[in-house]
Structure 1
Amino acid sequence: MVTYAQLWRADPVSWRSAGAAWARLAVDVGRRAAELGAVAGRVADGWRGAAGSAAGGHVRALRAPLDAARLAFVETDQVLSGFASALTRARGMLASAVAAAAPAHVEIDRTGYATPDVSVTGIDRVAALRAADRVGTGIVAALRAATDADRDTAAHLDRLASAAAAGWPTTPPRRRPPLGAPPSAVREWWAGLTSSERRWLLVHEPLLIGRLDGVPVAARDRANRALLAVWRADLVRERAEAVRTAMPRHAAVSASLRLVGLMSGIDAVSARLAAETGERAYLMSLVPGGDGRLVLALGDPDSADNVLAYVPGMTADLSAVRDDLSRTEAMSARAATVDPAQRTSTVLWLDYDAPSHLGEAMFAARAHDAGPTLHRFAEGLRATHCGAPAHQTVLGLSYGSLTVGTTAASNGGLAADDLIFVGSPGVGVDHASALGLPATHVWSSTAANDPIAYLAPGWREPFNRLGAELADPFGPDLRPHPNEDLWFGRNPSHPAFGAQVFTGDPGGHSGYWRTNNDALTDIARIALGPEHQSHVE
């Protein structure tokens, strides 16, 4: 068992750094392999003889082992970074227990034994003994968590080493589940494959595996990371082609700006994937076409106690992803602060075509179109989760709240234990009871100076009020209270809707995630489950 002294001296940062070093090696190998393939292609194109064909064949034969090794490097990063997170949680549990000792007149003998001796001082020995029991229980729980993580990490690394020694990929059966297949069926298919067959699919069919809800998140992350450089290179080539073509200048400029935006988004995602602070990022999906789509988790949802999925609203796309990544990061950090003992994964779900401007946001079509994909995503999280089900929360911001609401109210529903609406223009229903959950598990917050609360039904009034709000948030042109009926139905923050309303500091439409906003803490409490929800204000 991990000892008190060992856990107290543990350095999770060094484990995270070790994992990041393996991840960098994977990126370097992938880049060099791509360069080798390009050189071999030029050789084969420039020489049509037997030597050129042989050179191309030689590169192709060696590329698969390189790709398999690269995937193993990413998996090593996953394991070591996961252990770093587990150590961080265990140390947080230990620190909480130790911090509670002194005020309760409890002394801890820090001699380094597996479970240190706990004694009491002070006059009220009965109260002190009770406190000592709580402190001792907390210390034991922290040491047990560290011990379990140590054992699981060692076992995973042993399996990875054994797989490498036994040879890597084996061609799997021909059957593949199509995109859009039920996650439960995908999970059953994946479970029926051997480890070497799964590795073959990750090497040879990463585009399919990376998008399949029902494939474990760690496997999807390995598949999608392998494609990042390819996607970016494709965008570079597409931009060069747009500049060279004879299309009208304005069209070429527009296409070039869109592609540059997508490249910028991929760069932001790549930077977060390489980060050595915060929870490790898992790339669940990325689509570089159109305005770009992204699903990225901070912390592995498959092993988390809680999963909080965030659905952004109007103007959200891959080119503008930095703000949404920052909000996801803020929720992850706040949940860890509120309860460091629980594993909470926060997921940015931008896997739909969000409205780009107000003209598109006036209609619910995009929210309805997103419903089947959001439903399948949430079902996939349930299907791949290990152990007891996680407490699953889905949060929608602005137009994203309509996307969440229409999905939850649809025939398929939404696999969630709690729903949170933030800065909502309406969620498509007029009462919380229509969302497939008890009203006590539907939450809403709208800041007093959020313009969204004044968007009454109609074609002109919402925009007149929006302009007045932006000019003077508390001016006489506005009603003193938010509207009961908004653009897409009853205001979910109005008492008549029946949701649980929490408030924060006035921060406008984008201030809910500011560090000093109590709304951010309440979001974390809701995501952490019933024992914390009683403290929501």
Structure 2
Amino acid sequence: MTGYARLWRVDPERWRAAGSAWAGLTGRVDRWVADLDAGAGRLRGGWSGGAAGAAGARLTGLRGDLAALSPALIEADQVLAEFAGRLRAAKARLVAAVESAAGAGVLVDRHGRVTADPAVPRPAHRAGPAVVQVSTGIHAALDLAGAADREAAARLAELTAAAGSGWAGVPPPWRPPADAPPAVVRAWWAGLTPAQRRWLVRHEPATVGGRDGVPAAARDQANRLLLGVRRAELRAERGRLLTRFPRGPAELAGLRRVERALAGLGALDDRLASRETPRAYLLGLRTGGEGRAIVALGNPDRADHVLTYVPGMTSGLADATGELGRADRVRARCADLAPGAETAAVLWIDYDAPDFLHEAFRSGQATAAGPTLHAFQEGLRATHDGPPARQTVLGHSYGSVVVGVAARDHGLAADAVVFVGSPGVGVDRAADLRVPPGQVWSSTAPDDAIRLARPPEDLLRRAALDVPPFGPVAGLVDRPDGGLWFGHDPSHPGFGGRTFPSDRSGHTGYWDDGNPALDGMARIVLGRT
């Protein structure tokens, strides 16, 4: 893969498609396991004795071998998808280097050799630096492709060796306590053998899938295995609710919740199974209540830039893919601005978001989410490969309260925080968020109704004045001190942060194509402020 001509010809999407084909076999494996279970059940019902016992043991072994295939198929998809992503970045760097050659007055031949263009008159001492610059860019692209090729080959060879040994493995002798910091979890995971890690993914997916400090690849494998289990649990719950007569308000509400969760799981499963670029990583999944999900587009452990997006009110499993689309728009804009870099975007819905307006008036749910968001960001730092990524945390609406309170009370492993459509972030000064100076950003659209979320005492004072209805609205919008429901407006000059523009897009249009806010968010993620 290190040849200049070969990198020009390579099609990363073919590798991505190959990975998806391997992952697509998991459905077939699940059907085989189900068929084997059904057949074994029928045999047990009418067969006994020594031969029956031996057959049952053999069937149990076959079932175990089949079940072990699913995490291996998911891992193959991960390896090939990440290989495709790095090839894509290498090709982008190669294109940029060759395109710069024309402007620099140098020539690149079909072997990648760079020479000064004799048709461009200039002193010899000025041609050398241009040749070196273009050559350096080409070699950087080839080095990235070569490193990606060697790494993918090594990972696939390890996976093949594991398959050859029959997926033999033993459980690890120790597991960190549930409250262990992500750095401790990461050190523990690094000390396990590959066989022990695969054993945990296969036999204890719930333990692996939700642990901050476990690498994203292992969490994704575990949570994909759990998704089918959670769907079966929801379907069983729906069946129980449907058999209850009469159905009261509680049963009807339960049915609505289960149906919404099943619909959300279905949409999420479709995205996980698709061949879209970049590959999705399922880093967390819960189906209780409104449901929770953590989904990354691209592997955050390998990306140069990582965005964590925290949505606001009513967020849950049912609309996870819609919110994921917003994160993806920022990621895609980053790819447009920096095609040679790798950016991962994470949707983080791992908190109980307010469902109703009266809940959103309180900061209790944001306060409860603080330790969880803190631990997740610490986990991203702990599991990242190579030099640290630039980490950005973005909060929208009530999600900005979650981000602000987490930063204030616990600190965030973030190089920048961004607030859009914010009702306040729990502090009155940017310095209280404890992020690097100049890296607190905010945008509020001119027609965003969140600007009316004034402090409680202000609203009470207005109500007591009994002025005409349009008077209070104008007064609230023009309040000079920047006070909002949850503290100082982060878009106000007195807050001490930095702002970026948005057009008149209301409360949810910050991600619309053509809105300067989208470009602003992407530039902050890339560090191009």
Matching residue's letter, 1:210: G
The residue number in structure 2 matching 1:161 is: 160
Secondary structure of the residue that 1:515 maps to in structure 2?
coil
The residue number in structure 2 matching 1:485 is: 483
Aligned in 2, Cα 1:459/1:42: closer, same or farther, shift over 3 Å? farther
8 Å contact from structure 2 (residues 335, 343) kept in 1: yes
8 Å contact from structure 1 (residues 453, 483) kept in 2: no
Give the C-alpha shift of residue 409 in structure 1: 0.7
Q: What pairs up with 1:441-452 in 2 under 5 angstroms? A: 441-452=439-450
Aligned in 2, Cα 1:120/1:308: closer, same or farther, shift over 3 Å? farther
Equivalent residues, number: 519
The residue number in structure 2 matching 1:191 is: 190
Give the C-alpha shift of residue 460 in structure 1: 8.6
Aligned in 2, Cα 1:145/1:363: closer, same or farther, shift over 3 Å? same
The residue number in structure 1 matching 2:413 is: 415
Q: What pairs up with 1:104-253 in 2 under 5 angstroms? A: 104-109=104-109, 111=110, 113=111, 115-117=113-115, 119=117, 121-124=119-122, 130-246=129-245, 248-253=247-252
CA–CA separation in structure 1 for the residues paired with 2:491 and 2:212? 32
Give the C-alpha shift of residue 118 in structure 1: 5.5
CA–CA separation in structure 1 for the residues paired with 2:520 and 2:77? 32
CA–CA separation in structure 1 for the residues paired with 2:126 and 2:519? 31
Q: Which moved more, 1:15-24 or 1:187-196?
A: 187-196
CA–CA separation in structure 2 for the residues paired with 1:104 and 1:426? 49
Secondary structure of the residue that 2:438 maps to in structure 1?
helix
Matching residue's letter, 1:505: D
Q: Deviations over 1:122-155 (max 9, x none)?
A: 3456766644443322222111111111111111
CA–CA separation in structure 2 for the residues paired with 1:105 and 1:188? 51
Secondary structure of the residue that 1:439 maps to in structure 2?
coil
Give the C-alpha shift of residue 114 in structure 1: 5.1
Q: What pairs up with 1:521-532 in 2 under 5 angstroms? A: 521-529=519-527, 532=528
CA–CA separation in structure 2 for the residues paired with 1:521 and 1:37? 53
CA–CA separation in structure 1 for the residues paired with 2:43 and 2:289? 34
Aligned in 2, Cα 1:368/1:38: closer, same or farther, shift over 3 Å? farther
The residue number in structure 2 matching 1:21 is: 21
The residue number in structure 1 matching 2:431 is: 433
CA–CA separation in structure 1 for the residues paired with 2:478 and 2:209? 49
Give the C-alpha shift of residue 292 in structure 1: 0.4
Matching residue's letter, 1:310: Y
CA–CA separation in structure 1 for the residues paired with 2:244 and 2:440? 52
The residue number in structure 2 matching 1:514 is: 512
Aligned in 2, Cα 1:36/1:167: closer, same or farther, shift over 3 Å? closer
CA–CA separation in structure 1 for the residues paired with 2:449 and 2:61? 60
CA–CA separation in structure 2 for the residues paired with 1:11 and 1:131? 29
Secondary structure of the residue that 2:288 maps to in structure 1?
coil
Give the C-alpha shift of residue 454 in structure 1: 2.1
8 Å contact from structure 1 (residues 456, 483) kept in 2: no
CA–CA separation in structure 2 for the residues paired with 1:75 and 1:206? 14
Q: Deviations over 1:244-297 (max 9, x none)?
A: 023534333221111111111111111111221221111111011111000111
The residue number in structure 2 matching 1:468 is: none
Q: What pairs up with 1:310-459 in 2 under 5 angstroms? A: 310-410=309-409, 412-458=410-456
8 Å contact from structure 1 (residues 31, 229) kept in 2: no
Give the C-alpha shift of residue 432 in structure 1: 0.6
8 Å contact from structure 2 (residues 68, 167) kept in 1: yes
8 Å contact from structure 1 (residues 106, 121) kept in 2: no
Gapped runs of 5+ residues in structure 1?
A: 466-470
Q: Deviations over 1:391-417 (max 9, x none)?
A: 11111111111111111111x311111
Aligned in 2, Cα 1:343/1:169: closer, same or farther, shift over 3 Å? same
Matching residue's letter, 1:278: T
Q: Report the TM-score, using the length of structure 2 for normalisation.
A: 0.92
Q: Report the TM-score, using the length of structure 1 for normalisation.
A: 0.91
CA–CA separation in structure 2 for the residues paired with 1:69 and 1:106? 52
CA–CA separation in structure 1 for the residues paired with 2:186 and 2:372? 17
CA–CA separation in structure 1 for the residues paired with 2:168 and 2:479? 63
8 Å contact from structure 1 (residues 291, 318) kept in 2: yes
Give the C-alpha shift of residue 58 in structure 1: 3.9
Aligned in 2, Cα 1:506/1:416: closer, same or farther, shift over 3 Å? same
Matching residue's letter, 2:374: H
CA–CA separation in structure 1 for the residues paired with 2:235 and 2:389? 40
The residue number in structure 2 matching 1:32 is: 32
8 Å contact from structure 1 (residues 454, 482) kept in 2: no
Q: Deviations over 1:293-339 (max 9, x none)?
A: 00111111111111110111001110112320111111121111111
Secondary structure of the residue that 2:167 maps to in structure 1?
coil
8 Å contact from structure 1 (residues 118, 136) kept in 2: no
Aligned Cα root-mean-square deviation (Å): 2.5
Q: Deviations over 1:454-483 (max 9, x none)?
A: 211127949x99xxxxx99xx968635787
The residue number in structure 1 matching 2:466 is: none
CA–CA separation in structure 2 for the residues paired with 1:243 and 1:104? 72
CA–CA separation in structure 1 for the residues paired with 2:521 and 2:55? 57
Aligned in 2, Cα 1:496/1:130: closer, same or farther, shift over 3 Å? same
Aligned in 2, Cα 1:378/1:479: closer, same or farther, shift over 3 Å? closer
8 Å contact from structure 1 (residues 106, 132) kept in 2: yes
Matching residue's letter, 2:512: R
Match of 1:496 among 484, 494, 497: 494
CA–CA separation in structure 2 for the residues paired with 1:310 and 1:96? 30
The residue number in structure 1 matching 2:89 is: 89
Q: What pairs up with 1:290-301 in 2 under 5 angstroms? A: 290-301=289-300
Matching residue's letter, 1:27: G
8 Å contact from structure 1 (residues 97, 135) kept in 2: yes
8 Å contact from structure 2 (residues 416, 436) kept in 1: no
Matching residue's letter, 2:352: D
Q: Which moved more, 1:61-70 or 1:514-523?
A: 61-70
8 Å contact from structure 1 (residues 402, 426) kept in 2: yes
8 Å contact from structure 2 (residues 114, 134) kept in 1: no
Secondary structure of the residue that 2:391 maps to in structure 1?
strand
Matching residue's letter, 1:63: R
Matching residue's letter, 1:79: V
Gapped runs of 5+ residues in structure 2?
A: 464-468
CA–CA separation in structure 1 for the residues paired with 2:113 and 2:319? 50
